[in-house]
Structure 1
Amino acid sequence: MAQNNEKIAAEKFAPAIIDSAKSEEINKPSLSFWQDSWMRVRKNKAAVASLVIMMFMIILAFLGPVISGKDSEAQNVTQNNLPPKVQGLENVSWLPFDGTKTLPNGKEVDYYKQKNVDEDEYYWFGTDALGRDLFTRVWEGTQVSLYIAFLAALIDLVVGVTYGAVSGYYGGRLDNTMQRIAEVLMGIPTLVVVILMILVLEPGIVSIAVAMSVTGWVGMSRVIRAQVLKLKEQEFILASRTLGNSNTKIISKHLLPNLAGVIIINTMFSIPNAIFFEAFLSFIGLGLQPPDASLGTLIDDGFKVLRLHPHEMIIPAIVISIIMVSFNMLADGLRDALDPKMRD
């Protein structure tokens, strides 16, 4: 058998050179909780797209009436129920923005010529039964719906977080009493509360917001209470109590920051719920009263003439659907990003 007489170099037996400075070097950048959460949100394409769409809709809600240059309450009955007509798109046959409408008998007519509307006059979303510009009314109605939703969400946030944190932290007889009150409020149908508010107050933004806030905060308070019951037995809370910190400081400085993710997620889910509930109330006639407009009142007005003038209901229905879907998808993305169980 042949023998291998090749010599191995002595350098290969030398010990490895280890740089102690590089051995403890952190290659991955140090990120805070919120920086890491934002990175996770950015990786969620649906959440990012929803955020962009939501911001676009909010901007349009405030700039739309300015762009149109028309008064939302100005009536011109001679130009009522006009279909949408947009500059530059009126010559595109497959888009419904040329000012024409198909009658029930199948005949297609140019409503703008039929009603003697000037050639340089455009109504981007058409007009309603009183000849008011729908583009302006839709975006002003979006303002009202968003205002009511954010107001109700803010009240739910303040009242629900405070109530749930106090109830869960102190516990005992106080917790038992506060939870029985919450259960009583939860058992009252929200629609009954709305009707009572309308009987006491005039129908409008204030009565709707107050009615939604009377019982709306209960769900938030129960979630916060459950989280506080779990967190208050943690070591960092016991250490803070041992150092002599007051209960108010423990709740504000230690508990609430750790509840921020849960609070944000529940608030984001409460906004589309409030928008839908406001639209529902306005649709059944318990919401805003004319001439004030919200997305719910516009859908109600359009529903009455759906077969003859479908654009009057379809357009506000599309707007409210986009807003609700955007908020819900963004809330889903935030839930995935802020939930510790979803982390690697």
Structure 2
Amino acid sequence: MDLKKISKDKFAPAQIDANKSEEINKPSLNYWQDAWLRVRKNKGAIVSLFILAIITIMALVGPHLNSYGVDEQNLKHNNLPPRIQGLENISWLPFDGELKRKNGDTYNAYEVKNVENYYWLGTDSLGRDLFTRVWKGTQISLYIALLAAAIDMIIGVIYGAISGFVGGRTDNIMQRITEILVGIPNLVVVILMIIVLDPGILSITIALTVTGWVGMARVVRAQVMKLKQQEYVLAARTLGLSNGKIISKHLVPNLAGVIIVNTMFTIPNAIFFEAFLSFIGLGLQPPLASLGTLIDDGFKVLQLYPYQMIIPAIVISLIMICFNMIADGLRDALDPKMRD
């Protein structure tokens, strides 16, 4: 009885339009759009990108947010802890201007020295504002790291592409040169640069770029040796393209993902190396400030004024973690083997 209630139209075959059988409903995505969709799924990379953008903006505008100069000294206001207007009365926040003596007693350093000014991140032993110096030091550290990474990328890509594409005796000679450079410690190069040049941004940049490009060159060489056997390279040769145009037009664009990922890993390494050199006294010299010099100055008074080391250490840790997280996200997004 229930079958009689069902209309016969329900059993008719579906009418399929042959013109729409192969219609693509979703818009086609190019390589970079697809990679960006994959990066967006990585929450760690997105959060790191957001934090890194804030740090970069603060490095540019932070030194100009208050009236204190980078090298402005006021010995009467030396070694003052952080104090922020409006937050100084909240006891559980470290912005009330209080310090602890060696016996454990707490006192307000601003009241003891009769200081009415507000130093958001405190002052150092010479009375210089740490807020201004931290962001100026971040600016210099990022500048050195990005400059060294850019030079490493340019030299490494060109050297590795030529070595891998030409091959033969040329490749053999070029690889022996890289092996010699790898055997030279960076610290020895830095000391030689300081003997020839004055300690500063130029000597550190040169020291970072003398051997820093070798890793990039090896990765690019291995990828070029694999890609140069592909059919589109043979077609380009058949059409009469020169070796230089084949490298620049066909090989390097296909290596963009590998180049970007390796460059992103190079930047935190350069930041750490610059901070290490400044910490041992071979980096920037006063009155210039970088995150490494600020950590070195804070380390000397760590037990009495721990904020002078903790604050720049937090900034450099955030920068290195963010760059590594972004590099991991880009590696997963740009590597075809990692596709879902």
Which bin holds the TM-score, normalised by the shorter protein?
A: over 0.9
* Cα deviation 1:213-271 (Å, max 9, x = unaligned): 00000000000000000000011111111111111111011001100000000000000
> Is 2:100 the counterpart of 1:102?
yes
* Cα deviation 1:186-219 (Å, max 9, x = unaligned): 1100100000001001100000000010000000
> Is 2:170 the counterpart of 1:174?
yes
User: CA separation in 1, counterparts of 2:226 and 2:294?
Assistant: 46
Matches within 5 A, 1:40-55: 40-55=38-53
Tell me the SS of whatever aligns to 1:104: coil
User: CA separation in 2, counterparts of 1:39 and 1:9?
Assistant: 47
Q: Give 2:113's aligned residue.
A: 115
Q: Offset at 1:15?
A: 5.0
> Is 2:258 the counterpart of 1:256?
no
Distance 1:13 1:90, change over 3 A: closer
Cα RMSD of the aligned pairs, angstroms, is 1.7
Tell me the SS of whatever aligns to 1:306: coil
> Is 2:125 the counterpart of 1:145?
no
In the superposition, the TM-score normalised over structure 1's length comes to 0.96
Q: Give 1:31's aligned residue.
A: 29
Tell me the SS of whatever aligns to 2:90: coil
Distance 1:85 1:14, change over 3 A: closer
Q: Give 2:213's aligned residue.
A: 217
- Alignment gaps of 5+ in structure 1: none
Q: Offset at 1:16?
A: 4.0
User: CA separation in 1, counterparts of 2:35 and 2:175?
Assistant: 33
Give the fraction of aligned pairs with identical amino acids, expressed as a percent: 70
What amino acid sits opposite 1:191 in the alignment?
Answer: L
Distance 1:24 1:199, change over 3 A: same
Q: Give 1:93's aligned residue.
A: 91
User: CA separation in 1, counterparts of 2:12 and 2:135?
Assistant: 76
- Which residue among 213, 216, 224 is the counterpart of 1:228? 224
Tell me the SS of whatever aligns to 1:112: helix
> Is 2:136 the counterpart of 1:156?
no
- Alignment gaps of 5+ in structure 2: none
User: CA separation in 1, counterparts of 2:234 and 2:285?
Assistant: 54
User: CA separation in 2, counterparts of 1:209 and 1:85?
Assistant: 36
Q: Offset at 1:116?
A: 1.4
In the superposition, the TM-score normalised over structure 2's length comes to 0.97
User: CA separation in 1, counterparts of 2:329 and 2:10?
Assistant: 53
User: CA separation in 2, counterparts of 1:130 and 1:24?
Assistant: 74
Q: Give 1:136's aligned residue.
A: 132
Q: Which runs of 4+ in 1 moved over 3 A?
A: 8-16
Query: Which one is further off, 292-301 or 64-73?
Result: 64-73
User: CA separation in 2, counterparts of 1:257 and 1:69?
Assistant: 47
Tell me the SS of whatever aligns to 1:68: coil
